Amino acid sequence: MKNICLKITFLILLIMTGCSDNTNEVVVYTSFVEIFSEPFLKDFEKESGIAVKAVYDTEETKSTGVLNRLIAEKDNPQCDVFWSGDPVRTIVLKNKGITSVYQSPAANDIDPVFKDPEYHWTGFSARARVLIYNKTLLEQTDIPRSIFDLAKKQYKGKVAIANPLFGTTTFHIAALFTVLGDEKAKQFLSDLKNNDVVIATSNGDVKKRVIKGEVACGLTDTDDAFEALKEGADIGVVFLDQQEIGSLIMPNTVCLIKNSPHTVNGKKLIDYLLSIETEAELAKSCAQMPLHKGVKTPAGIPSLDDIIPMKIDYDKTSQKLEEIQNYLKEWAEN
């Protein structure tokens, strides 16, 4: 009888061991541009010896594809870490109970404004929303200085924005709603539409249209803007509303998924992404603005100390993003 019990115990332990996850890997979903994010994930893989399985969004469905996938997988998580290009969608996941608390020691000196108070997410390496303009088509005196200038008659049919249902454009509009209020924000978007604004497929498409002279100017992110300058494009870059509501600052965010299959490895990846070294490399590769103090950056990369930021509440902006989805869909399609 004793031998039988021992055999049964051994079989149970064997089954439990076989079902446990002993794989040395980590699964990351990211909405950050693949050509920029992949090298960092590959470097982490080499340095740590942990195999990285990455799922990327496409340019056209940026921030929505992996977000919806994480929501669908809530009861059976397949992902360990979510690397988002902005805080809003990470907050959506937090509010749905999909994220887990993790206070990374690598982010101790990052300003608390860029962290969730309960440590469900942490920000790093920020971008800003900017206006780029074609220097051949716009004289210095004609350059818009405020986002509200884009609805003026002199820019009719000359302005491009990315589809507001996706990516950082959604974040930007949600932020405007929280700062201006629903009525003023809707009026601005109505004025913009009546001014024949061109709706591009993505921020990258905005950049291409401005460079080619199909439009005189357009809204995009600093990484796209500085990539164009690096390529030698004859464009200018403007941080809008520096005397008014300020420019929208968008930190990347990273979070640990609740009940993830490789939690320990997930924390290691988060620490790596939040490091000073990663921020320094992101500044070099795609003009990201570091949130750590004293990080060396290439010439021409702006400092957050020199920019008047739009003052927003990330939680309220996240809630507003969900509230206005139907409105934005109707606005974009009509």
Same domain, yes or no: 213 and 289: no
Structure tokens that stand for 1 in this block: 């009888």
Question: Mean pLDDT, to the nearest integer, of 185-206?
Answer: 96
Is the residue at 288 inside a domain?
A: yes
Q: Are strands 122-134 and 249-257 parallel, antiparallel or unpaired?
A: antiparallel
pLDDT at 257: 98
Same domain, yes or no: 140 and 234: yes
Least confident range from 1-5, 20-24, 175-179, 292-296: namely 1-5
Is the residue at 75 inside a domain?
A: yes
Question: Mean pLDDT, to the nearest integer, of 7-12?
Answer: 38
pLDDT at 62: 53
At 29, the pLDDT band (50, 70, 90 cuts) reads very high
CA distance 96 to 87: 14
CA distance 163 to 59: 11
Same domain, yes or no: 198 and 329: yes
Query: What are 242-260's pLDDT values in tens digits?
Result: 999 999 999 999 999 999 9
Q: Are strands 235-238 and 217-221 parallel, antiparallel or unpaired?
A: unpaired
Same domain, yes or no: 97 and 222: no
Same domain, yes or no: 328 and 196: yes
Same domain, yes or no: 122 and 261: yes
Task: State the pTM of this model.
Answer: 0.76
Is the residue at 13 inside a domain?
A: no
Same domain, yes or no: 139 and 194: yes
Same domain, yes or no: 45 and 57: yes
pLDDT at 230: 87
Structure tokens that stand for 109 in this block: 């000196």
At 7, the pLDDT band (50, 70, 90 cuts) reads very low
End-to-end alpha carbon distance in the chain: 77
- How many structural domains does the chain have? 2
- With DSSP H G I counted as helix, E B as strand and the rest as coil, what are the percentages for the chain, rounded to 5? 45, 20, 35
Question: Mean pLDDT, to the nearest integer, of 165-177?
Answer: 91
Least confident range from 12-26, 133-147, 266-280: namely 12-26
What percent of the chain is predicted at pLDDT more than 70?
91
Is the residue at 150 inside a domain?
A: yes
Same domain, yes or no: 46 and 191: no
- The CA angle 276-282-284, to the nearest 5 degrees, is 110
Is the residue at 315 inside a domain?
A: no
Read off the CATH number of the domain in which 65 is found: 3.40.190.10
Is the residue at 318 inside a domain?
A: no
Question: Mean pLDDT, to the nearest integer, of 287-316?
Answer: 86
CA distance 206 to 195: 17
Is the residue at 16 inside a domain?
A: no
Same domain, yes or no: 202 and 327: yes
pLDDT at 19: 38
**pLDDT of 153 higher than 70:** yes
What domain range is 213 assigned to? 127-248+323-333
Question: Mean pLDDT, to the nearest integer, of 194-222?
Answer: 96
Is the residue at 310 inside a domain?
A: no
Query: What are 51-83's pLDDT values in tens digits?
Result: 999 999 865 555 568 999 999 999 999 999 999
CA distance 280 to 258: 29
Question: Mean pLDDT, to the nearest integer, of 156-182?
Answer: 94
Same domain, yes or no: 115 and 175: no
Least confident range from 108-112, 150-154, 279-283, 312-316: namely 312-316
Question: Mean pLDDT, to the nearest integer, of 172-177?
Answer: 96
At 9, the pLDDT band (50, 70, 90 cuts) reads very low
Query: What are 114-151's pLDDT values in tens digits?
Result: 899 999 999 999 999 999 999 999 999 999 999 999 99
Same domain, yes or no: 68 and 209: no
C-beta atoms surrounding 46 within 10 Å: 9
The rounded mean pLDDT for the chain is 89
Contact between residue 291 and residue 123 where contact means Cβ atoms under 8 Å apart: yes
